Structure 1
Amino acid sequence: MDEGCDGTGLCIDTGDGEFMEISLHSRNSFERKKNPSQDSGFEDRGSKSKKKGLSVSDFLTRNLFSRKAKESEDDAEQGWKLFGRIPPKQAPDKDPQQITQEFQNKLRSVAQPKNSKKSDIEVMSTTALILENRPQNLPTKDPEEAEKHRQQYEAMVEAARKKELKELKMKKKQKQQQLKNEDKVVCAAKRWTDEILPNWETMKSQKKTRELWWHGIPTNVQGRVWQLAFGNDLNVTNELYEICCSRADDRIRMTIESSEIYGNSETSSEPPSSKESSVELIKLDVSRTFPQLCIFQKGGPYYDLLHSLLGAYACYRPDVGYVQGMSFIAAVLLLNMDVADAFVCFANLLNRPCQVAFFRVDEELMKVYFHTFEEFFDENMPGLYSHFKKHKVTPDLYITEWIFALFSKSLPLDIACRVWDVFCRDGEEFLFRTALGILKMYEDLLLHMDFCNLVQLLTKIPEDISGDTLFKHIDTIRMNIDKKRFNQVLAVNKES
């Protein structure tokens, strides 16, 4: 073995008068390297034979793997770099349109699931049920017993398969219903936007509009419809809201300063509703408004807006001030419109007769509403009404909170908003109709409860309540007694 002839490798004598050069510095260990003397056409002086420039792979292939020589030569032509990548093979030239078409076909094949019909009903978990014989160290089963066990196994597998098949069909049906409902919402939103809202005065009382109203207003137009339905009889303006906000800020600042100087002593002759009692109550209630949403609590995006709106109303109506339950009404409005428009709707909404009676805590007028409600309760569900009378469950124990917060605190938010939709259309009558619908929905359950359980259920309605089911029960409630509507019966009770 001699040093490399060119200083870059070794020359090995093969024994037949020829030399092989092994390259030590080539990046491709399988690359053939020719001897410089061969390239130049001269013969080495120390030998009559020509030197052959061979790589390590050729040497090993020739001497050790002769049967694979041909394959090795093919591989050597492609080559592998030890510390790099060889250039890719040249692909045959294709027309750009053909390449685009092939790419689109691949995308289409990926997007379209194969055998989608079969996968919908495929049952997987039953494959985990395997019928095994007894271990060899135990006596074999009696043939009758083995047959019995086999039949039981097949019955179990079949039952599991049917159960999973039923669940898959149910999920498929629910998905189809969901898509159907989404299409309905899109169509309804288009009708509200293109047909009803531009022609509000002429369209709001039409039968088709009222039917569309019953099924709920799409969220993208809900705020606008509420503004039009509640109206602005009080002529509240955005400027008035800014003035009331400024007064509320001054009131809060004065309250804080006076409490720091005088402590909790009374320093003003103003009614409690307009003093720190309202300010402190607002702070407390704002943080407890829709806690599951985490947007009305301190640091949330709606905390300051809700606080400003309620403070402005307390200054706008000092005779009413702030009453617990107002924060939920204001919060629902803020979720559907900006703060100035929400204040306008809030002020006009709380100026309605039923809300005035409850928020000013007019006990005599509240009793009239309760008595009217009980008359319709007896008319629609006499059995449940008698059961409530027996256990002395009166309307003030459960319906007060429903009216105060307009069901926004008692029902899930989406269902409460749907109640608000129809409340905008039908007025206070629908609030009591909704209350009767809730009682109708849980009638069978309520008939078997005592006082404690009755009050507990009605003050904490189950969270899994279905909006569609509730409105089906509301639809069955008749709001007339001897051809008298709710407002007529209420007026008679007010006079008596």
Structure 2
Amino acid sequence: MLRNLFSWRHKDGGSNTSDGASSTSSSPIPSSPVSSTSPGWRIFSRPSPRTPRSPDIKIRNSEVEAGSAGLIMENRPNNLPAKTAYEQLKHKQEYQQMVSAAKKKELREAKERKKAQANLQRQEEQLASAVAMWNNEFLPKWETMHTHKKCRELWWQGLPSCVRGRVWKMAIGNELNVTPQLYGIMVQRSVEKLVTLSECGSVASQDDVISDCGDLEGTLDLIHLDVSRTFPHLCIFQKGGPYHDPLHHILGAYACYRPDVGYVQGMSFLAATLLLNMDEADSFIAFSNLLNRPAHMAFFRVDQPVMCAYYQAFEELLVANLPSLGDHLKNIGVTPDLYILDWLLTVFSRPLPLDAAVRIWDVYLRDGEEFLLRAAIGILKMYEPVLMNQECTATAAQFLTRLPEDLCVDALFKAIASVRTSAQKRTFTHILQAHMDAIGSNAV
């Protein structure tokens, strides 16, 4: 029976072929009783022999319609029962529905493509306009324009990548007066210390040198390990990558420049984010000045009283904005130090996708450390439904340590925009200072 279905040919329709195809293509046969002149049963229409098949040719809706016509509208072969009038009408209606659905789908897809193209064109125009404003209006007159309402509004929308490095450089500033020449000296000093480290074994009688080499060895080993673990998905900071040595130089130079701070895990993400937007010397200058800010210096030097003040200020703002979530996290044992520490140390570069992290960097460098806590609460607000369903401390903390890669940046900033950084008529500065004073008085 199957052989008849696929290879049957009417004796007047031509010779049989192995695949049951006619030597010439024909259109579907309208429904009518089977006659001796019927061209036969065709499952699908076959292209003309003059049109060779190609595996690269995509099947279009019209081809699907033709195949559907062959399947539904054709008469049955002579050795099968003829279609009834009801079947003919039913198959005709099904065919018309399939054609109508295919046409609607094609129109819908065309409309979506047109809409996407219009959105892309609009985004490109907005980007070009923003770049022109930054280059022509804001950056040349930075001292007067960076606080202008128009500049701040455009800043909130995200800096264009082609001007981001210059804006960050001017926003961070250089209060420490670090120069490229100083950076070169620090890099050379770090290289010399590597040589000294290799010679430590031959000066065992000098205890002070041995002690210094031992501390330096741990620092350099940690830097070497962390450089390769920084943004591993980018593959540019790993050994042999174009940014491996520059990042190693910046971190080693800073360890020599500020031996009182040294190197702390998390610094590599800050330096790498700067290095992705600036040249090497400017990245070191910005990195040194950024770490000199109160919040970063307190966290990298592990100043416990100041860190506790930030944690308590964050918890107060969390309760003011998300009381239910704040209580839930407290009940399951998820304290701020389990996730906020990493968020602040790396300015969200490690837990967030990079495109979201740099947007937070943009506004952080505009508004200061207050925005870091505001962004943190915005993240919690965005994922409040997920976190409210978490009952395990480890699971919730793990989720907050590495947030989803498909995070929508626009949705995140919409959540951040709704966050209040004041409570009980007190500003963030007053809240933070009150907790610092309370911790100081308790210590006394």
Superposed CA RMSD = 2.4
**Local SS of the residue matching 1:173:** helix
Distance in 2, matches of 1:179 and 1:388, equals: 44
Distance of aligned partners of 1:374 and 1:161 in 2 relative to their CA distance in 1, 3 Å threshold: farther
* Correspondence 1:455 to 2:424: no
- Counterpart amino acid of 1:399? I
2:277 is matched with which residue?
A: 336
Distance in 2, matches of 1:415 and 1:194, equals: 26
Task: Provide Cα deviations, 1:73-99, integer angstroms capped at 9, x if missing partner.
Answer: xxxxxxxxxxxxxxxxxxxxxxxxxxx
**Local SS of the residue matching 2:277:** coil
Distance of aligned partners of 1:246 and 1:448 in 2 relative to their CA distance in 1, 3 Å threshold: same
2:288 is matched with which residue?
A: 347
- Counterpart amino acid of 1:473? A
Candidates 139, 151, 155, aligned match of 1:197: 139
2:299 is matched with which residue?
A: 358
Distance in 2, matches of 1:217 and 1:297, equals: 27
Distance in 1, matches of 2:399 and 2:367, equals: 27
Distance in 2, matches of 1:438 and 1:183, equals: 30
1:375 positional shift? 1.3
- Counterpart amino acid of 1:359? F
Distance in 2, matches of 1:320 and 1:289, equals: 20
The answer as to whether partners of 2:200 and 2:210 remain within 8 angstroms in 1 is no
Instruction: Structure 1: state its 5+ residue gaps.
Output: 1-121
Q: Which shifted more, 159-168 or 340-349?
A: 159-168
**Local SS of the residue matching 1:464:** coil
The answer as to whether partners of 1:398 and 1:459 remain within 8 angstroms in 2 is yes
Runs (4+) of structure 1 exceeding 6 A deviation are none
The answer as to whether partners of 2:197 and 2:213 remain within 8 angstroms in 1 is no
Candidates 364, 371, 378, aligned match of 1:423: 364
1:313 is matched with which residue?
A: 254
Distance in 2, matches of 1:471 and 1:191, equals: 22
1:144 positional shift? 3.7
* Correspondence 1:489 to 2:431: yes
Task: Provide Cα deviations, 1:146-169, integer angstroms capped at 9, x if missing partner.
Answer: 544544454455445434433432
Task: Provide Cα deviations, 1:241-267, integer angstroms capped at 9, x if missing partner.
Answer: 1221121111111112325887xx996
1:51 is matched with which residue?
A: none
2:222 is matched with which residue?
A: 281
The 5 Å alignment of 1:338-487 reads 338-451=279-392, 452-487=394-429
Distance of aligned partners of 1:239 and 1:134 in 2 relative to their CA distance in 1, 3 Å threshold: same
- Counterpart amino acid of 2:420? R
- Counterpart amino acid of 2:330? K
Distance in 2, matches of 1:356 and 1:379, equals: 27
Distance of aligned partners of 1:343 and 1:162 in 2 relative to their CA distance in 1, 3 Å threshold: same
1:355 positional shift? 0.6
Q: Which shifted more, 282-291 or 357-366?
A: 357-366
- Counterpart amino acid of 1:228? M
* Correspondence 1:232 to 2:174: yes
Distance of aligned partners of 1:140 and 1:404 in 2 relative to their CA distance in 1, 3 Å threshold: farther
**TM-score between both structures, scaled by the size of structure 2:** 0.77
The answer as to whether partners of 1:126 and 1:161 remain within 8 angstroms in 2 is no
**TM-score between both structures, scaled by the size of structure 1:** 0.70
The answer as to whether partners of 1:231 and 1:348 remain within 8 angstroms in 2 is yes
2:264 is matched with which residue?
A: 323
The answer as to whether partners of 2:351 and 2:400 remain within 8 angstroms in 1 is no
The answer as to whether partners of 1:123 and 1:165 remain within 8 angstroms in 2 is no
Q: Which shifted more, 141-150 or 245-254?
A: 141-150
Distance of aligned partners of 1:154 and 1:259 in 2 relative to their CA distance in 1, 3 Å threshold: farther
The answer as to whether partners of 1:438 and 1:474 remain within 8 angstroms in 2 is yes
**Local SS of the residue matching 1:283:** helix
The answer as to whether partners of 1:437 and 1:471 remain within 8 angstroms in 2 is yes
Distance of aligned partners of 1:271 and 1:355 in 2 relative to their CA distance in 1, 3 Å threshold: farther
The answer as to whether partners of 2:200 and 2:213 remain within 8 angstroms in 1 is no
1:138 positional shift? 4.0
Question: Quick check: which has more Rg, 1 or 2?
Answer: 1
Distance of aligned partners of 1:460 and 1:169 in 2 relative to their CA distance in 1, 3 Å threshold: farther
Distance in 1, matches of 2:265 and 2:98, equals: 57
Q: How many residues align?
A: 372
2:153 is matched with which residue?
A: 211
Distance of aligned partners of 1:482 and 1:194 in 2 relative to their CA distance in 1, 3 Å threshold: same
- Counterpart amino acid of 1:224? R
Distance in 2, matches of 1:249 and 1:123, equals: 66
Higher RCO (C-alpha 8 Å, min separation 6) = 2
Percent identity over paired residues: 50
